[in-house]
Amino acid sequence: MTPQNGVPGRPARLKDVAELAGVSLKTVTNVVHERRHVKAETRARVKAAIAELGYTPSLVGRQLQSGRSNIVALAIPRIDEPYLGALAHALIMAGERHGYAVFTDETGRSDEHELRAAGGYPGHSIDGVIYSPLAVDPQRMADMSRFTPMVLLGEHLSEGTADYVAIDNEQSARDVVRHLADGGRRRIAYVGGNPSRPSSVGQLRLEGYRAAVRELDLESRDDWLLRCDRYSRESGSAVAEQLLPRIGEIDALVCASDLLAIGAIRTFIEHQVRVPDDVAVIGWDNIIDGRYLSPSLSSVATDLDLLADKTFEALISRIEGNRDPARVYTVPHEILVRESSRPTTAPWTLR
């Protein structure tokens, strides 16, 4: 398109829009950047000129003016895990709604890789980082968060300025134990804790499990609490192997993730352990595999779209200069009761 007051063959410029609309360059800039204090009539005239000329603001110019790229990084351990893949998709969609592109990086639990993410990927024009750390020392992460706009989805830091967005892990674990107890389960095992990282998801859920066991006066033994550093189907299967001699002692298994639960159920079935008749099983994350497993898997679910929006709201606040102490944003959860933990006498519909 040839601008009315421009040079044929070149794209329209800000000056061309200003001349066609009969306003100053500053007024056009204010309209382009959706700033206030522009009269409605003037704003309409400028937008009409933009449409007529086909003017597109320069990306480089916008970045130089604002000091931002409108690109954020999502750093997660693995992209091929069902929950993390679904979370990445929700965050990419939320980024579009908030005007940001999302660059996704797989850290692979590497110290070096995670530190690069915590540093904001120097040289890549990243405005902020959405981060699920597993390897880096929490204190070092807290120190780095003071320089990188950051929101955490996995481990919560007690210091620094990295906000944390998640379900209430301790309360959700209490709800899981109560659900099992209401179904008649009294001897409940747990897998997924990691004492070396007390603020990790699995350890927080273990604390909620312990609190509920005390509150409900359920039986508990130390050898029913199994540590697990990697939440995978293989780890879940290995844990179930350890628990096979205890079937009859335990009547339920709480797994800190659905992948652990799926691996455990597979091993139980291979050894003729009936789920849920002999042992009930429940996990977290509501991954799609659980719905199609047989028996279908009960799981703690969260609204990923809501979590993603909350994450971007928190991150944008940090990008815009908020350096207040870290905040925790809690997203509601619910227990989806399916075949793997339902009482045999209770009415039930697949969810």
Q: Which residue has the higher pLDDT, 127 or 37?
A: 127
Task: With a cut of 60, say whether residue 9 has pLDDT above it.
Answer: no
Burial class (CB within 10 angstroms; exposed 0-12, middle 13-18, buried 19+) of 203: buried
Q: Are residues 100 and 36 in the same domain?
A: no
| CATH code, domain with 232 | 3.40.50.2300
Of 59, 68, 75, 96, the closest CA to residue 312 belongs to 96
Residue 1, Cβ neighbours under 10 Å: how many? 12
pLDDT at 308 over 50: yes
- Shared-domain flag, residues 150 and 208: no
Number of domains in the chain: 3
Mean of pLDDT values over 253-272: 97
If one compares 75 and 67, the residue with the highest pLDDT of the two is 75
236 and 255 part of one domain: yes
pLDDT tens digits for range 117-136: 888 888 778 899 998 877 77
Average pLDDT over residues 176-199: 90
The larger pLDDT score, comparing residue 33 to residue 194, is at 194
Residue 219: the pLDDT is: 92
Residue 319 within a domain: yes
User: Which tokens belong to 163?
Assistant: 């906000």
Same domain assignment for residues 50 and 141: no
Q: Tell me if 111 is assigned to some domain.
A: yes
Q: Is residue 64 part of a domain?
A: no
pLDDT of residue 59: 44
Are 202 and 230 contacting, i.e. CB atoms less than 8 angstroms apart? Answer: no
With respect to residue 285, please indicate whether it lies within any of the assigned structural domains: yes
| One domain, residues 182 and 202 | yes
Single-letter amino acid code for the residue at 327:
R
Query: Is pLDDT larger for residue 140 or for residue 168?
Result: 168
Q: Are 185 and 201 part of one and the same domain? A: yes
For residue 203, pLDDT over 50 is answered with yes
Q: Is the pLDDT of residue 199 over 80?
A: no
Of the three residues 285, 302, 319, the one that is the final residue of a domain is 302
Q: Examine residue 345 and state whether it is found in any structural domain, yes or no.
A: no
Say whether both 102 and 203 belong to one domain: no
Let me know if residue 8 belongs to a domain.
no
List the one residue out of 341, 77, 81 whose CA is nearest residue 233. Answer: 81
Range of the domain at 218: 169-302
Q: Clarify whether residues 203 and 316 are in a common domain.
A: no
Same domain, 20 and 45: yes
Q: How far apart are CA 25 and CA 22, in angstroms?
A: 10
pLDDT at residue 53, as a whole number: 86
Residue 282 shares a structural domain with residue 194: yes
Q: How far is residue 32 from each of residues 46, 65, 100, 232, 272, measured CA to CA in Å?
A: 9, 12, 17, 48, 66
What values do phi and psi take at 47, rounded to 5?
A: -65, -35
| Claim to verify: residue 145 and residue 224 sit in the same structural domain | no
Q: Quick check: 87 pLDDT over 60? A: yes
Claim to verify: residue 122 and residue 152 sit in the same structural domain:
yes
